[in-house]
Amino acid sequence: MESCTSAYQNLNESDRRISNAFTAKRQAQDFEMSNVTVVPDETYTVAQAVDAFGFGRFQVKLSLFTGLCWMADSMETTILSILSPTLQYEWQITLFQQALATTVVFMGMMLSLPFWGSFSDKFGRKTALTLCSVLLFYFGILSSMSPNYTWLLVLRGLVGFAIGCSPQSVTLYAEFLPCKQRAKCVVLLDCFWALGACFEVLLALIVMPTLGWKWLLVLSTAPLLGFACVCPWLPESAKYLVTNGQTDKAIDTLKKVAYDNGKPMLLGRLVVDDVVLEEKRGSFTDLLLPQLRVSSILLWFIWLVCAFCYYGIVLMSTGLFESSYNNRTCSANLDSGIFKTVQSCTAESHYLTTRDYIDLLWTTLAEFPGIFATIFVIDRFGRKITLVFQFTLFAITLFLLFQYAKNRVLLTIILFLARGIIAGVFQAVYVYTPEVYPTPLRSIGVGTCSAMARLGAMVTPYVAQVLLKSSFNTSIIIYITAALLAAIASSLLPIETKGRDMKEEYMEKD
């Protein structure tokens, strides 16, 4: 019994030693695992790393950096609705010249967008955005020194050329966002756009009556100066780096993301799902590959209509408030409604009043509820349904103008609703588009869509600023029809990207 007991005790002692050794090994593994996250197949992609690191301090800083760029873009486009009536009054330009001063900015954007898309795909998002901020600041300052209408057209066109790069800030931002937070964060980024628009109206309210429009152009470049200063700290896209074979730099960027967010770096080898040859990347014709053709064509039309309607509301607001002013001061000339008296009224040209600026501010503030409403529905119901619903609701809201446009209070409320809805649409397409295209085509895809948007923005001044003054009903019908057609196009989109990782590869042509 004693020998059996001794053997049993030795066995227990051996078991304890084995157990202790196993426990020590397990503790060592646990310690290692607490510092490094292991991917089961020993490889990982940028998307997997970004999802593992989650949303943290890195994304917060990136939000502020890219937000400055977005705010500057907003201010440079919002100023168009403020500048037009002032130039018409001071330089006695015609309605078509007034519309051309707006169109030339969007023409510069449209012509530059494919260039900026290809540039950022070849040299990086960070390089493109840095160059964009410097050019935009420079031409913005020069615009304020324009001695005449012709010089203003040239310089504002160059401003538009520089603004064409700003959508790449959204591309860079989206590539650092975890899948679950991507839609909400991209939409929340638009808060900077709305903030920039509101700040521009407030700045105009303070500056225009005392210093004039030239100083307004100068002071409106302030966010550009801020963005140019933070560009050295702006990270390059890890997706761009790994796709271009710069794996070491991509890993360094991901380590910084992990460090800032307080997460362990992944173990394993960073890979890209499909290596695309340098000369095959970023081609416009690849957007028309069989798996992307329908999406690309529909998205081009949707972006065109979205910008046509959004900037139409921005420009229309000034025109409608001006018409309301003329209705008060020239009521004796009202023959067929306030929208046909502008050319016959002696007070047809005037500086915007304080009430005009306040009402413009109210309509601009509508973008904030539009943003948060989009956040609420886009992840619950999907991107496609959100687009269909918002385009349809926008058309219904515009229909109310036929009945209530002559009442200043109701007019402001309707424009508030329309501005908020169409702002939400713009954010929905900004969420959806980068999710459709793979990394090698993402910049050129977003850039081409933005070019189509600028085409719509180029056309809209002739409806919102020229046609509106002669035929109110026709101009509103055009916007309603465009919105309904865009709703149909949105329903035909073949891909729903809700909850889907951003692709890193695409099938090449045979």
Per-residue model confidence (pLDDT) at position 342: 37
- Which of 6-15, 317-326, 368-377 shows the lowest per-residue confidence on average (mean pLDDT)? 6-15
> SS3 for 97?
helix
- CA 319/CA 102 separation, integer angstroms: 14
Inter-residue contact 348 to 326 (CB < 8 Å)? yes
Q: Would you give the distance in Å from CA 331 to the centre of its chain? A: 42
How large is the average pLDDT for residues 446-456? 83
| Beta strand segments in 131-277, E | 265-270
Q: Does position 353 have pLDDT exceeding 70, yes or no?
A: yes
Q: Does position 72 have pLDDT exceeding 90, yes or no?
A: no
Q: Does position 380 have pLDDT exceeding 80, yes or no?
A: yes
How big is the chain by its Cα radius of gyration, in Å? 27
Q: Which residue has the higher pLDDT, 424 or 224?
A: 424
pTM of the model: 0.73
- CA 224/CA 142 separation, integer angstroms: 14
pLDDT in tens, 292-331: 889 999 999 999 999 999 999 988 888 787 655 445 444 3
Type of residue numbered 420: G
Name the DSSP class of 507: P
Nearest 10 degrees: Cα torsion 21, 23, 27, 28: 20
- 10 Å Cβ neighbour count for 37? 18
Highest mean pLDDT among 46-50, 71-75, 76-80, 457-461: 457-461
- CA 79/CA 140 separation, integer angstroms: 11
pLDDT in tens, 259-288: 888 888 888 888 775 444 343 455 778 888
Kindly indicate the confidence band of residue 19, based on its pLDDT and cuts at 50, 70 and 90.
very low
- Which of 109-113, 125-129, 338-342 shows the lowest per-residue confidence on average (mean pLDDT)? 338-342
Identify the bridge partners of residue 265 per DSSP, sorted by sequence position: 36
- CA 156/CA 99 separation, integer angstroms: 13
Per-residue model confidence (pLDDT) at position 460: 93
Per-residue model confidence (pLDDT) at position 501: 61
The rounded mean pLDDT for the chain is 79
Per-residue model confidence (pLDDT) at position 304: 94
Q: Does position 465 have pLDDT exceeding 80, yes or no?
A: yes
Q: Which two tokens stand for residue 78?
A: 């919002």
- CA 323/CA 328 separation, integer angstroms: 9
Name the DSSP class of 246: -
Per-residue model confidence (pLDDT) at position 324: 54
Per-residue model confidence (pLDDT) at position 273: 54
Q: Look at the block and give the residue holding tokens 């959204």.
A: 170
- CA 105/CA 80 separation, integer angstroms: 9
Neighbouring C-alpha atoms within 13 Å toward the C-beta of 115 = 13
Angstrom CA distances, 213 to 218, 314, 433, stand at: 9, 18, 36
Kindly indicate the confidence band of residue 231, based on its pLDDT and cuts at 50, 70 and 90.
confident
Highest mean pLDDT among 75-84, 102-111, 191-200, 470-479: 470-479
Residue environment code for 47-85, b if the CB has 16+ CB neighbours within 10 A, otherwise e: bbbbbbbbbbebbeebbebbbbbbbbbbbbbbbbbbbbb
